[in-house]
Amino acid sequence: MKSNWKLLALMLLSSVITLAAYNLLGFNNRDVIFNESTPAPASTNRLVSLPGGPTAVPGDFSTAAEAVTPTVVHIRTTMTRTVRQQQIPDIFREFFGDEFGGGGNQRQPRRQQGQASGSGVIISKDGYIVTNNHVVQDADEVEVIMTDKRSFKAKVIGTDPLTDLAVIKVDANNLPFITLGDSDGLKLGEWVLAVGYPLDLESTVTAGIVSAKGRRIGILDQNINRNEEKPDSPVESFIQTDAAINPGNSGGALVNLRGELVGINSAIASQTGYYSGYGFAVPVSLVKKVSADLLKYGNVQRGYIGILPQELNSTLAKEKGTKVGRGIYVNEVVGKGAAEAAGLKKGDVIVKMEGQALDSDAQMREIIGRRRPGDIVTVTVNRDGTERDFKVELRNRNGGRDVIKKSEVTAAATSLNSLGANFEALSSQEAKQLGVSGGVRVSKITDGKLADTDVEEGFIIVKANTKSVKSTKDLQDIIAAVKEGEGLMLIGMYPNSSRMYYYAVPM
């Protein structure tokens, strides 16, 4: 079953690439397919659910639809991307000369403007709106259009790729806003409505049921920052629904029949790029916490339990000799982390967290994802057949309990990210085969300084500004030392060539 979900996720990814190409060429204005109820702190009480929401007769969708539709907005974004022209193969230059293709082997990157479209949900009367990260990611301009046709320019307040959520703000007052519900209370088979702007249409409402909860499909893995030595894991615990969701619904509302927000629609599983029966929404329990963090701190405050987990099944239970067949197996306890301090050990099986029976890694990540460093989580462990409760005080990514400022999180990656590429260090075996002591491979070029050079994907950096590069941290440190107005010289090779290449990158 897991392999099937991975296949579906890949289908979504291929659709992303296709739609992105259409957007950049101006053929399409559609949104890309992406593909605890912990109360908000006092300073962000705009996110707390309001009592006395609308009521409806079972099976009557009109009351909820009427209440919700004005709170869901259309989001249009404009972004500029670098388009790298294809290199002219040598065989064509032999026959047609360097004039073929306008300059032979030289590829001049071009900047093109594209548009995308999505949805958002108003969460406060003073103009705060929740949407998907992928709706506003890399946008130069964000426009919000209300159901009454009013249009506003929006500012991006904060984004979180690991949950695919973002908060934006328009300069307006007395806006209609949605009531936040309780996704934990959702039942399988319960009716829900999806409200958004699919396929660049006007506001649209569709109905379906909750098909599954705590679903992980692997679609957010592409958002992991591969430039970090130990990247964070995405938090995927989607609500699955058969309410029709299409491109453009991203960032829109999934609501119950009381008109309460229970999820933010984020993804579809499809081989065609359009709805084929499966839609996925971020549960509102996670939306509340992430939105509150973005508003108060500017970034998400993540708590870490300090283990390497593995989802238990009958095969693994037999292999490890556990006394239970369900739960989260502790493969390793990270040194000086929260779990070690609480007394957890390798070989323990976490069977409950905060009193909830654990069936999946996705469920555990969602529970932890709702909390912050310093919060205490009750963890029930089966150790050698006996259950024990542990009080685990979550830590931040640095092992402490304090709030991590946005500047601290972004400072280390800013310079490296400006290159617009993903990097991965060579293994010792790869380095030996290439005859180098180490290096960093350019695994993917997205949009940044490297896109404006002749560097190709697969290029292996062995030196930068004459200093050896053996890890992404080495490269980051070298870039951080580059002064304003200076450049970066990358020296390296390609896997199938012994020749050394030199690339000058203006910084």
Q: Which residues are catalytic?
A: 134, 164, 250
Contact 208, 189 (CB under 8 A): no
Contacts for 70 with CB less than 8 Å, ≥ 6 apart: 146, 147, 148, 176
The residue among 222, 234, 246, 275 whose CA lies nearest residue 9 is 222
Quickly list DSSP for 1-48: -HHHHHHHHHHHHHHHHHHHHHHHTTS--PPPP----PPPPGGGGGGS
Q: What is the largest CA-CA distance in the chain?
A: 78
- Beta-carbon contacts of 87 under 8 Å, excluding residues fewer than 6 positions away, are 105, 107
* Measured distance CA(204)–CA(92) in Å, rounded: 51
Residue 339, H or E segment? helix 338-342
74 in a labelled binding site: no
Q: How far apart are CA 507 and CA 503, in angstroms?
A: 12
Query: Rounded CA gap, 69 and 121, in Å?
Result: 9
N residues, the chain: 507
Q: Which of 127, 367, 134, 156 is nearest to 252 (CA)?
A: 134
Query: What angle is formed at CA 103 by the lines to CA 98 and CA 105, rounded to 5 degrees?
Result: 75
β-partners of residue 457 are none
How far is 110 from 135, CA to CA, in rounded Å?
23
Strands 179-180 and 260-268 come out as: parallel
Q: What span, in angstroms and rounded, lies between the C-alpha atoms of 430 and 458?
A: 13
Which helix (H) or strand (E) covers residue 258, if one does? none
* CB neighbours of residue 434 within 10 Å: 17
CA 93 to chain centre: 43
Alpha helices for 88-169 (secondary structure H): 90-96, 133-136
CA distances from 432 to 238, 438, 500 (A): 43, 8, 16
| Annotated binding residue 225 | no
3-state DSSP helix/strand/coil percent for the chain, to nearest 5? 25, 30, 45
Q: Are 450 and 425 in contact (CB under 8 A)?
A: no
CB 392 within 8 A of CB 284: no
- Phi, psi of 288, rounded to the nearest 5 degrees: -60, -50
164 is in an annotated binding site: yes
From the annotation, which residues make up the binding site for substrate?
A: 134, 164, 248-250
